[in-house]
Amino acid sequence: MVAIRSLMPSFRTIAYFRKNNAEAFRKVFRQFVLMLKDMDLIEGETIGIDSFKIFAQNSLRNNYTQKKDRQTS
């Protein structure tokens, strides 16, 4: 067990995992939001999730603002 603790995946391994499972992450977040709405913890009008540990990128194409959200609605 001690040998396993010192092993860590490379950044590429994590990046590939995120890339290869992007749709699964979207589905999980969608289910999470639906669960919160069912429990009446949120209204679901505006949702912002800080996912920096999952998708650490803030390119203009991938970030969302209230203005962009209103344009897509």
What pLDDT is recorded for position 71? 72
Task: Please report how many Cα atoms fall inside a 13 Å half-sphere around the Cα of residue 2, on the Cβ side.
Answer: 0
The C-alpha atoms of residue 68 and residue 28 are separated, in whole angstroms, by 23
Report the chain's mean pLDDT, rounded to a whole number: 76
At 4, list the tokens.
Answer: 């396993």
pTM metric for this prediction? 0.47
Mean pLDDT of 38-59: 67
CB 44, CB 7: distance < 8 Å: no
What pLDDT is recorded for position 59? 66
Whole-angstrom Cα Rg for the chain? 16
Q: Name the E strands within the chain.
A: none
Mean pLDDT of 19-33: 89
At 69, list the tokens.
Answer: 């959200």
